[in-house]
């Protein structure tokens, strides 16, 4: 599947998933966001913006912990869309209504990358000013009583350890008390922080500026894409030669220097073929066995983690690779059939949402309660009850006798109702009897 004219800056695109009903959002140079629908090459919508954005990210609706018999809506619209601008502002929209929930002056220079945590508690922003800011999502979007002035909202944590533009960030998939934040910068360092304690755990010093990185799903290694075109494998655990015990590398603010790998024992060099190209995007498969990498020359490779050999090479694109995302392929049972109106989302507003919560309209599809098939015993009981009702109605005489009455029109109406009811019950009984006979056979 390909999307035409989806060129965008680094981190300027985000996808909601793979399959029918999913979307791709891309930033253009014309202060617009183009929305693509899965299965269609051209864009569906153009959403005007208040200013030029540099990066995008989406947050899906929170998933309740309790199970519910009610099925999910028949189309998927993410909850929030966040964008970082060239002026250093952060914008957050509610996609179901198009309301602008937040405009926050966050960085002194352009915002380079944004990312929500897995459960949406935090929004992490990084910029060319070298700063990394961690925000509480609830505080940013709670506009009621705050007004247009969001200066009172302070970041949960402000990180100023980097000395050059931050190129990539990643929030670990662990639980909230044990979540890790990874940040990479062109100053040649990759830093690991603990979100709950807000402490710096480890600093990795690489031999070249860091452009991108990916973390193993099990937290065993970090794959770092460098400006020189090399992808370095940095193990996070090693076996102590004296005790033969597996120990973690780093922690407690330790600084670890990664030396040049002249023997190429832990390096991927496919992006140095023909000419050096910086590795601008990295992602890893969910089983941790393959990494997908892209560079400034538009090349994309799938490499085996163990052998470091190229498994698949995609045709080169016409521009640098900006984003690489890996999604599971949905099963056929989960693929939905949608009509066109479900693919369209409201236009993004340019002014802040009203402070009055009563003016906030929530757009949501409430699905119907799933219908369950009755059991065989229930069906037999229903047939028996219908049969008893039919026998009771059979006692009514169907012979029409002409008599003189004071109100002939009223008697005729009552007789017509009785005749119609008798005919309907007789027809229903015959249908039920046929179904019952078929089941016995």
* Residue 144: predicted pLDDT: 57
Write down all domains in the chain, each with its CATH number in brackets. Answer: 1-63+71-169+329-367 (2.40.128.630), 206-327 (2.130.10.10)
* Residue 298: predicted pLDDT: 92
- Are 217 and 284 a contacting pair, CB within 8 Å? yes
| Best-predicted range by mean pLDDT (142-151, 267-276, 376-385, 394-403) | 267-276
pLDDT tens sequence across 116-136: 998 889 999 999 999 999 999
- Percentage of the chain beyond pLDDT 70 is 84
How far is residue 210's CA from residue 294's CA, in Å, rounded to a whole number? Answer: 14
Q: Across the strands, what pairs with 55? A: 84
Q: At what angle do helices 408-440 and 376-394 cross, to 10 degrees?
A: 140
Q: Across the strands, what pairs with 233? A: 223
- Percentage of the chain beyond pLDDT 90 is 44
**String of DSSP letters for 127-169:** ETTS-EEEEEHHHHH--TTTTT--TT---SEEE---SS-EEEE
Mean pLDDT estimate for the chain: 84
Q: State mean pLDDT over 390-412.
A: 59
Element (H, E) at 416: helix 408-440
pLDDT tens sequence across 151-205: 678 999 999 999 999 999 999 876 666 789 999 999 999 999 998 889 999 999 9
SS3 annotation, 277-336: CCEEEEEECCCCCEEEEEECCCCEEEEECCCCCEEEEECCCCCCCCCCCCCCCCCHHHCC
pLDDT tens sequence across 319-370: 999 999 998 877 654 544 444 445 678 899 988 887 776 777 766 666 666 6
Q: State mean pLDDT over 53-60.
A: 93
* Residue 367: predicted pLDDT: 61
Q: In this predicted structure, which of 65-79, 225-239, 269-283, 369-383 has the lowest mean pLDDT?
A: 65-79
DSSP 2: -
- Are 128 and 163 a contacting pair, CB within 8 Å? no
* Residue 432: predicted pLDDT: 84
* Residue 89: predicted pLDDT: 95
- Are 226 and 211 a contacting pair, CB within 8 Å? yes
Phi-psi map region of 197: left, alpha, beta (phi>0 left; psi -120 to 50 alpha): alpha
């Amino acid at each position: 599947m390909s999307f035409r004219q989806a060129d965008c800056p680094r981190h300027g695109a985000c996808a909601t998933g793979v399959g029918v009903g999913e979307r791709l959002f891309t930033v253009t140079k014309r202060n617009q966001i183009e929305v693509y629908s899965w299965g269609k090459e051209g864009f569906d919508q153009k959403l005007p913006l208040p200013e030029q954005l540099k990066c995008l990210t989406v947050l899906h609706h929170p998933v309740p912990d309790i199970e519910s018999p009610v099925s999910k809506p028949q189309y998927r619209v993410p909850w929030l869309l966040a964008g970082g601008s060239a002026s250093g502002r952060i914008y957050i929209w509610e996609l179901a209504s198009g309301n602008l929930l937040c405009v926050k002056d966050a960085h002194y220079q352009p915002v380079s990358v944004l990312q929500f945590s897995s459960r949406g508690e935090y929004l992490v922003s990084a910029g060319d000013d070298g700063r990394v800011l961690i925000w509480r999502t609830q505080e940013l979007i709670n506009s009621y009583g705050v007004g247009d002035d969001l200066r009172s909202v302070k970041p949960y944590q402000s990180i100023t350890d980097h000395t050059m533009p931050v190129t990539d960030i990643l929030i670990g998939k662990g639980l909230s008390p044990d979540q890790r934040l990874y940040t990479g910068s062109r100053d040649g360092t990759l830093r690991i922080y603990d979100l709950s304690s807000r402490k710096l755990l480890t600093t990795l010093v690489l031999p070249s500026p860091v452009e991108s990185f990916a973390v193993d799903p099990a937290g065993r290694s970090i794959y770092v894409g460098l400006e020189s075109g090399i992808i370095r494998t940095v193990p996070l655990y090693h076996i102590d030669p004296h005790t033969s015990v597996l120990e973690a590398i780093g922690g407690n603010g330790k600084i670890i220097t990664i030396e040049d790998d002249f023997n190429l024992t832990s390096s991927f060099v496919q992006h140095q073929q023909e000419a050096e190209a910086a590795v601008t995007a990295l992602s890893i498969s969910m089983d941790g066995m393959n990494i997908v990498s892209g560079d400034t020359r538009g090349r994309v490779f799938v490499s085996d983690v163990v052998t470091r050999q190229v498994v698949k090479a995609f045709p080169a694109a016409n521009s640098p690779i900006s984003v690489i995302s890996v999604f599971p392929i949905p099963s056929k049972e989960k693929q939905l059939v949608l009509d066109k109106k479900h693919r369209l989302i409201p236009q993004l507003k340019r002014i802040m949402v009203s402070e009055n919560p009563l003016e906030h309209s929530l757009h949501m599809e409430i699905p119907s309660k799933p219908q369950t098939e009755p059991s065989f015993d229930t069906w037999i009981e229903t047939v028996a009850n219908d049969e008893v009702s039919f026998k009771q109605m059979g006692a009514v005489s169907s012979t029409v006798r002409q008599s003189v009455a004071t109100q002939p029109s009223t008697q005729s109406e009552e007789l017509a109702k009785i005749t119609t009811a008798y005919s309907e019950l007789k027809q229903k009984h015959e249908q039920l009897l046929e179904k019952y006979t078929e089941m016995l056979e």
